[in-house]
Amino acid sequence: MISIELTKRFKRMVRESGREDEVSATLQLVRDGFGNPHVHSGLSIRKLGNGIYECRTRLALRLIFVAQKGKLTFDFAGTHDEVQSYLRDHC
């Protein structure tokens, strides 16, 4: 089974967005479906490069995570523009 880890930054961003329930549901779906390409498209999982992926919640909050063997580490949550800025700084 894949484990989910959340960085302090991710937890803060989700808390500040007020979308904890929505994000929690999405994390569960990603954990259950990651590694199954047919499920990826339904979850809006997209590879961004070098083990970095994004997925979207139902209200288009984007969640950025790093996939390692047996572990998904969620590090960032934001809008499309915020994600673009994050990727410029971290990739």
CATH code for the domain in which residue 84 is found: 3.30.2310.20
Q: What is the mean pLDDT of residues 34-41?
A: 67
Domain of residue 13, residue span: 3-90
Confidence of residue 1 (pLDDT cuts 50, 70, 90): confident
Mean pLDDT of the chain: 89
Find the mean pLDDT for residues 62-87: 94
**Number of domains observed in the structure of the chain:** 1
Read off the pLDDT band of 39 (50, 70, 90): low
Q: Is the confidence at residue 91, as pLDDT, over 70?
A: no
| Mean pLDDT, range 12-17, rounded to an integer | 95
Confidence class of residue 16 from pLDDT cuts 50, 70 and 90? Answer: very high
What's the rounded Cα separation, in Å, for the pair 42 and 80? 19
